[in-house]
Amino acid sequence: MVDLTDKVVLVTGASSGIGAAMARCFSREGAYVALTARSREGLHRTSKTCPGPTLEIPGDLLRSADREKIVDRILERWNRIDVLVNNAGLGMYGSFLEVTEEIWRRVFEINLFAAMEMTRSVLPVMLERDRGPIFSPARS
Ligand SMILES: NC(=O)c1ccc[n+]([C@@H]2O[C@H](COP(=O)([O-])OP(=O)(O)OC[C@H]3O[C@@H](n4cnc5c(N)ncnc54)[C@H](OP(=O)(O)O)[C@@H]3O)[C@@H](O)[C@H]2O)c1
């Protein structure tokens, strides 16, 4: 079992669903949890269920300026990022044959490319300390 006490964990897609649940779990384990997603209300809702310190950072992961802002805000507050959880994404439901190319591209933009870019933004911070797990659960 990994000790998360005082670890700084960034959870993307923390305004609802799996991301909100993971944020809550990390917080219960003693982590400092940075929450990001586009919905301010959703982030606030998640934050209220976390027993430990949280930082709510609204942003759209498809925008590079927002990704940079997320990293900057965490470093300003806690000066490090110990764990990145690339959870934000879109589910795609329905018939494979009926899905349009536009939907495929939207799904891959957030589920794959935004996760890769978020990793690229966070990795230098982790490499400075030569540590930092990065999780990308359930990527398409
Ligand atoms: N639930 C399942 O059974 C299941 C199974 C396999 C895989 N997954 C995958 O696991 C991930 C989470 O699933 P979920 O069920 O928890 O879905 P969810 O409740 O819809 O959560 C998706 C999260 O991603 C965020 N998000 C979406 N687009 C974003 C963007 N452009 N910028 C920043 N944040 C964005 C959403 O926040 P905002 O809308 O506030 O931005 C939300 O917090 C998804 O990738 C999903 O495809 C889920």
Tens of pLDDT along 58-72? 999 999 999 999 999
pLDDT by residue (tens digit) across 81-101? Answer: 999 999 999 988 889 899 999
- Report if residue 92 sits inside a domain: yes
Give the count of domains, the chain. 1
Q: Is the pLDDT reported for residue 135 higher than 80?
A: yes
57 found inside a domain: yes
Write the residue with the smallest CA distance to atom 11 of ligand 1.
89
Residue 121 located in a structural domain: yes
Is 140 a domain residue?
A: no
The one-letter code for the residue type at 77 is R
Residue 28 falls inside a structural domain = yes
Residue 1 lies in a domain: no
Of all protein residues, the one whose alpha carbon is nearest to atom 45 of ligand 1 is: 89
pLDDT per residue over 41-53, tens digit each? 999 999 999 999 9
* Residue 2: inside a domain: no
pLDDT in tens, 1-33: 689 999 999 999 999 999 999 999 999 999 999
The predicted pLDDT at position 66 comes to 98
Q: Which residues have C-beta atoms less than 6 Å from ligand 1?
A: 13-19, 37-39, 42, 60-62, 87-91, 110-111, 138
For the residues 102-120, what does the mean pLDDT come to? Answer: 95
Distance in Å, CA 14 to ligand 1 centroid:
8
Domain containing residue 38: 8-135
- Which CATH number is 127's domain given? 3.40.50.720
